Structure formats: C-alpha cells, structure tokens
Amino acid sequence: MLDLFHTLGTSVTVIGLGLLVVAWWPRASTLWGVVGSIGMISLTAYTIHIVVRTYYNASGDYGVEVFLVHLAAMFVVALPLWWLGRRGPLEAFVSRTCKGITELATKH
C-alpha cells in the first residue's frame, strides 16, 4: 500500500515540477511538447512495447541499451504525430469507436 502512495506522490511531484518549469520558463513548453509527445501515443507506445517484448521473449531485467532503443522508437513514432497535431493510431481508433458507439446509443 505504501508503494502506491509513493508512486502517486512521485507522479504528482513530477507533474507539478513540469508545470512550474513551463510557467517560469515559457521556452521550455516546446521541450515539454517534445517529451510529452509520447504521452499522445501512450496506448500505441505501450502496445508496441508489449508486442516487441513478447516477440523477443524478453522477460526479466534488461539493460539500459534496450531501454534506450525502446525510448528512441517511441520518439520516432511520436514526434511526427506531434508535429502534425495528431493522435497515435490506436488512440484515434479508440476515439472513433467510442464516438460511433455513443452515436448509436443516443439515437435510440
């Protein structure tokens, strides 16, 4: 249970510090946009991560090199979408599906 509070507290602290940096240093908003671009594809990024780990049967601890390769791959996918102002492909699919279901549900 304490791990949950630690994780929650750390997350809130990082978000708060990010907001303070952008407020104090407006040019940092571009940097945060680049870093935050992966957040625009969170479902896609997580799915790619799981598929790659499953494909290579990567279980357990792996080195910094593998982490950096995963991170680079996420930026390769995320940055063009961020520059275009678009969502990740899975995020767009889920959004369209939910809108379609909502339209069907509200017609009846």
Q: pLDDT tens track of the chain, all 108 residues?
A: 788 889 899 999 988 887 787 778 777 667 777 777 888 898 998 898 888 777 766 666 677 777 788 888 888 888 898 889 888 999 999 999 999 999 999 986
Residue closest to 29 by CA, chosen among 44, 15, 19: 19
Q: What is the pTM of this model?
A: 0.63
Collect all residues with Cβ–Cβ distance below 8 Å to 22 and sequence separation of at least 6: 28, 29, 32
**What are the boundaries of each domain within the chain?**
30-107
